[in-house]
Amino acid sequence: MPRFFLHFKTPIETHRDEEGSVFPSLEDAYLDVCDAIPDIAADLWRSALRARNDDPIRCSFEIADAQGRILMEVPFAEILDPQRYRRQAVLRPDLC
């Protein structure tokens, strides 16, 4: 099974996953990240990130393969505020 690296990004820094996790597919890695986001956001809301007035909805995960290629970015907004996230994507001029 392939190893994926789940790099956590805040508005001010990136925490690189140096060990990685084994998943059957990229989709499984994506679903695992999606399941984790609400709990991580709640923890961040109560932590030092919130003390700096940063909004956890601005965080994201990058899913990379064993060669270090970023395969997917999963913004917290996609999970925490899906209606707002979709509206923004539709309104992006480069997508029209």
pLDDT at 35: 96
Number of structural domains in the chain: 1
The DSSP string of 31-95 is HHHHHHHHHHHHHHHHSHHHHTT--GGG-EEEEE-TT--EEEEEEHHHHH-HHHHHHHHHH-GGG
Q: State which residues form the domain around 8.
A: 3-95
Task: Residue 27: name the closest of 2, 44, 48, 7 by CA.
Answer: 2
pLDDT value at position 49? Answer: 60
Per-residue pLDDT of the chain (96 residues; tens, 9 = 90+): 999 999 999 888 899 999 999 999 999 999 999 999 999 998 888 876 656 666 788 899 999 999 999 999 999 999 998 877 664 444 444 443
